Structure 1
């Protein structure tokens, strides 16, 4: 068992926030297979305190979700403090995570996400303000190694977060420059664990299956793992992780029938979440490639699934599948989701010239609801 403040996790697994993915529907689906801490998609602190309608919907949780976890993004200590106080006073969540890991250019060019820990005083102020205003709610930090290999911040940021009262830290073993390319640096995760000793450390990056999670813990000594892209189209991964951490060799090896059933269930939950059948089915379209990766359903069926607009239409298409198709590890397992190549970090002007904010940089820090749509 791992404890994040008052929250005890029987299975030391966290679902990483993913914009446009980890809404209530997906979190509920993952919970049906396994256990852990399931974090909502990233929202901006400013949009929350302004009670933006879409943000208020994103922060909502189903009554079955416990504990409730929210990830905030902010570039301003006062704003994030107000958001944390609002969450605590209005009982909107049981846990607050802070995003310092998003490498998306539209976020980093404003000084947010994975660009922010380079400005150490700002980083400390944001974490400290959140902790002070969150009341009894535990606050955690998710971050990357740094901006690039010449501008690493994870050890210092981890120690700062620990010192000001964060209850856990998560490190994605890549830099902003790395984006999602190459191989995650697990040695950096291990070094962070050595540096941060009084709170749990979670590792993130390249945990594609349960065996990877066990190997990460064995190699780095971390207290738990955070899973993102690996569960896209594979909500049963959380069942595999629960089994692995409980000493069981049982794993999900779904044939096409089981995959179609999960896909159909995801559709139901999305329709309930959006309260709109057409919108829920349209949102499901982006999941088609992930769910059916490695299953020979044919290009025409994939095209049809990518245009669904109703549950009835979905059922008609699923009924045409060859349900005798079984599980094939070669096609199904392995990397999924975005990867790509390293890319030059997009940062505010002169960002790397000093560790402290200049007056111009401070005045240009901006956050709005649009920042969360791609991170």
Structure 2
């Protein structure tokens, strides 16, 4: 629970979109579906981005993908993140979203460090191929027209192969509306401490569009501090909101926008958990599936609270909203916020690892015939969103 003082900042403008709070929800696979986005929006202001959508699957109108890009009527502005490696396919995917009026904002993912993505040259590996990156971003920005297109990236592949400054300048020249930097390399994955100094460097290099910072924002205080230390124009929040959707209310309030600061008793947390489950049931149109999906959130919501292992296990096997209600009723809902025990890192972290890359990928920043053949298969493993 934050005690951050209010820090008035200018509204964040991403193309024609103005955000009262300079806060963006980072795309997270299996997390940032319509249900979670709606829940976060109920607490505070910001831009709430979809799960990563594969351009090839979108162009092919894969049924799962088409469901993932469908927003609830309450969601505005509508934001979708795309993952692509082929300029023509990415351009076609952007055009589809624009011509069918399916998004008010489109983000391109060049930050994914997952081995099955980087092994084929996608995600955080792709900006190493400078001209390919330039062509994808330029064609996508052109296809987007008046819909703002942004880029999210990492520092680079590893400490010896940094790409963020070149990529930031290329994106700016291509006409994107903003760039966001997760201040880690692909090799760092989610380990260690984010290098906020890199965000400051990018802000110095990219001057005509907003620069957003991402990495290790676990509280409103962290967000305020990142903006003060780096000069960035806004923050992107990922793992810090897992099991804490009310963080967006705290962030909004900390930046002087409308938002509710939480009184995070166990009852407050349990109510958020129950609401999340309810929205998942609505999203999946299946009570059993919605209750299965909420299971992965149990540990995040109740981190540090007096909810014993047996009760947590029961919540993680509940198959109906009624069963969840019965379990919540057994809790000490007046239990106060536990302080440090509920704070800090949540979600995956892991250890640094050597990035999986196509053979010879680092030999040159130009595209070779072999690299082109590898990229032809890059979207297959992530087809369907």
Identify the TM-score tier after normalising by the shorter chain.
over 0.9
Q: Deviation per CA, 1:325-344, whole angstroms, max 9, x where unpaired?
A: 11011111111111111011
Deviation at 1:4, TM superposition (A): 0.5
- Which of 170, 179, 183 is the equivalent residue of 1:169? 179
Whether the 8 Å CA contact 2:249–2:260 is kept in 1: the answer is: no
Whether the 8 Å CA contact 2:54–2:384 is kept in 1: the answer is: no
User: Aligned pair 1:368/2:371, yes or no?
Assistant: no
Whether the 8 Å CA contact 2:45–2:257 is kept in 1: the answer is: no
- Which of 345, 354, 357 is the equivalent residue of 2:367? 357
- Which of 206, 210, 223 is the equivalent residue of 2:216? 206
**Distance in 1, Cα, partners of 2:123 & 2:180:** 14
- Which of 17, 39, 49 is the equivalent residue of 2:59? 49
Partner of 2:297: 287
Greater Cα offset, 317-326 or 215-224:
317-326
Relative distance call for 1:370 and 1:360 in structure 2 (3 A) is: closer
Partner of 1:157: 167
- Which of 301, 307, 331 is the equivalent residue of 2:317? 307
Partner of 2:68: 58
Deviation at 1:370, TM superposition (A): 3.7
Relative distance call for 1:327 and 1:64 in structure 2 (3 A) is: same
Partner of 1:28: 38
User: Aligned pair 1:71/2:81, yes or no?
Assistant: yes
Output the aligned Cα RMSD: 1.4
Partner of 1:106: 116
Whether the 8 Å CA contact 2:85–2:379 is kept in 1: the answer is: no
SS of residue matched to 2:24: strand
Relative distance call for 1:46 and 1:112 in structure 2 (3 A) is: same
User: Aligned pair 1:269/2:279, yes or no?
Assistant: yes
Whether the 8 Å CA contact 1:46–1:367 is kept in 2: the answer is: no
User: TM (normalized to structure 2)?
Assistant: 0.95
User: TM (normalized to structure 1)?
Assistant: 0.98
User: Aligned pair 1:128/2:141, yes or no?
Assistant: no
**Distance in 2, Cα, partners of 1:367 & 1:176:** 17
Whether the 8 Å CA contact 1:305–1:317 is kept in 2: the answer is: yes
| Equivalent residue pairs, number | 374
